[in-house]
Chains A and B, each alone.
Chain A
């Protein structure tokens, strides 16, 4: 047995040599995980914003879907509606790896494809969805992009906005706002924020809203080290890269600060919520960056037309 152990280890050693020097990889991986966690939080906010498009209908349909899922087995067949019919995509309650879809009236539902249990981000109409491994697939399950999706879907149902480091350095590098369509070339829009330095351990900038239709995107980043934390959001014109307006929140003197940013899908309205230290307070900014409303609580999402905001009293759910 010792012989076979040595031989097997030798054989694996040869393939492992391809992996090369792993010095520094561990730290990079862990930093990436923390950054990914922040990005996912931002993505969840965007998903919440999409669901809030018609909040009341979503609540009704959500309840319907939940009750249906609890009382019936998973849909057996593929969903059979044309691409022009919007769908709500969701993880199958009995198999998290499977993505199901339901029309907004709740009358038609079915299987879409496999999305991986790690989470799925669909565009607003549910015609494309990205899996946690960065793949993008269409409703038929066809692979549209093999990897690399990150960020936020745009309202043209094809494009998405995302942040990436300039050059190959992933820490301390300028961050670039990019727009792409699955499987197509990336357009670099503007430099917004910076990827955190090695010792900073702060999240990189992330996209909050992406509107190709309205030629705008919203980007947010927290930076600094407690007790001197700074949070900044930018509203950027996609066609020119021009920063239309930016706002900075400086909250010195506290190490337990929670700031949340929400934006309407067209990037016209931006809400900055400071959830901690209590009490939670939110400010809503209009298209030109002027404050148009103040409220107690946290703004979680906007309605599709931007006329309504979903707010919660603390930092939790509405």
Chain B
């Protein structure tokens, strides 16, 4: 029998020490709070809390990140988190710096900042929550919206001729020099939680060790703007993964 090594992560009982007691400010069924819990657990188990600077982008997760993370944190203008993180990391090289961004924040308005942070090989970690829409402003078209997906600005569904194609961010960034690790995970099942937890740990280790940029895209369900109930949204994540966003490691160049 093959013995598979258990990932160096564990489920922490109760509230993670990396989270405050503030109520989680998300819609029922949203995947963001689970992703946030995984991030906080990872930082706690790695013993990074006192030297972390979390740079929080602008989206549904802004309030959640700023009020719920119980380690040093800094808010960023929409899309600029990788530039802000660059400044923090260059000023405080001993800090562990990561960004929390959404797909609109990173892949639309902030594409320039993330691409150049990657090519410079900044030793930061970047976590992008991908729910395929702009949740914070009411569910509009995002770069990651799938063909046919209905949004507030594509009422009859995204048509590639009129609205463009879906951007696959993890694949694009995985091809850039300076990126040491890139993966895509999800938070819709126990198995995916474990895999995403491991991906976060790997990306954070890469950045904390000064090896370059570690990137994790997390597919997050948005029942509110997908127009489905929370249970159905979990299955929809699997459908999205199959259609355009395959899960797993896309690059692993760890030293």
Chains A and B come from one and the same complex: no
